[in-house]
Copies of this chain bind each other. A is one copy, B any other.
């Protein structure tokens, strides 16, 4: 069984904190250091026993680390790796939990000095509530975790990171970084952009003193829940996976236009067919 002497987690929130708990629960790490901008999160993580030590200065936090987990917002990855890369020890492993791969993986690989091994990762897990207070050693149980190794990825480092996620109970899937970004533009980034657009469309209307949203039922509330995600995170995701997201929004608008066209032609058969196929897909997922 693989085990790390020192692990540093940069960004000890829901995901970083849950991974720290897994590492402790499964005896995969001897000592865990939490690092990051939010002093409050680190102090809470320390108090909860999720980490053993806190260190806000990134370069000091990674110095002795055998494994560094990047669990900060993806928009900060380039800056953080530029800062920590030269301070990591040779043979150390860097992995991440970011929801964008593609170009970002190439950028990180180009920054890191030789001898530091990077294994790009993305666990598909989360819940509505954020923060280390919500962290759980079972968050990844049964979830998919995507790893996107490249030609440069060290095979042993890949096996080590894979072993952690398997220990967490995740189903590890290996794929190309660009394929990852295309899939997640569709199943995650587009739905979030669509939810933001939906909420802003409907909130533009008032009926007397009441906003239209006050008349909404369960369906619309699902959209508002999706749209409640971190604005900074989704901004960064849009900037880093822009080409795929624009492509997906285009396709989505084509589907919306098919509905508009069928309504305009009062084409009952086409409408029912469109709605039935989506409804059946849902049933196939249950």
A253 pairs with B251, CB closer than 8 A: no
Interface hit among A51-59, A61-69, A268-276 = A268-276
Within 8 A of B (CB), among A203-261: 203-205, 207, 212-213, 215-232, 234-235, 238-239, 242, 245-246, 248-256, 258-260
B256 pairs with A249, CB closer than 8 A: yes
Count of this chain's copies in the oligomeric assembly? 2
Measured between beta carbons, the chain B residues less than 8 angstroms from A281 are 199-200, 203, 213, 224, 227
Measured between beta carbons, the chain B residues less than 8 angstroms from A191 are 198, 219-220, 222-223
State whether A202 and B186 are in contact (beta carbons under 8 Å apart), knowing that A259-B238, A282-B225 are contacts in the complex: yes
- The distance in angstroms between the C-alpha atoms of A282 and B256, with both chains bound, is 24
- The distance in angstroms between the C-alpha atoms of A223 and B230, with both chains bound, is 19
Measured between beta carbons, the chain B residues less than 8 angstroms from A263 are 238-239, 242, 245-246
Partner of A190, one of B202, B221, B228, B234: B202
Closest 6 CB pairs of A and B: A197-B255, A231-B275, A222-B222, A228-B282, A187-B216, A199-B278
Residues of A within 8 A of B (CB): 124-128, 144, 146, 175, 179, 182-184, 186-188, 190-205, 207, 212-213, 215-232, 234-235, 238-239, 242, 245-246, 248-256, 258-260, 262-264, 266, 268, 271-272, 274-279, 281-283, 285
Please name 20 further chain A to chain B contacts, defined as beta carbons within 8 Å, in addition to the given A229-B275, A231-B272, A246-B263, sorted by A numbering.
Answer: A126-B218, A179-B207, A187-B213, A187-B215, A188-B216, A196-B274, A196-B278, A197-B259, A201-B248, A201-B251, A201-B255, A204-B251, A224-B278, A225-B282, A227-B279, A230-B279, A231-B279, A232-B272, A238-B263, A249-B256
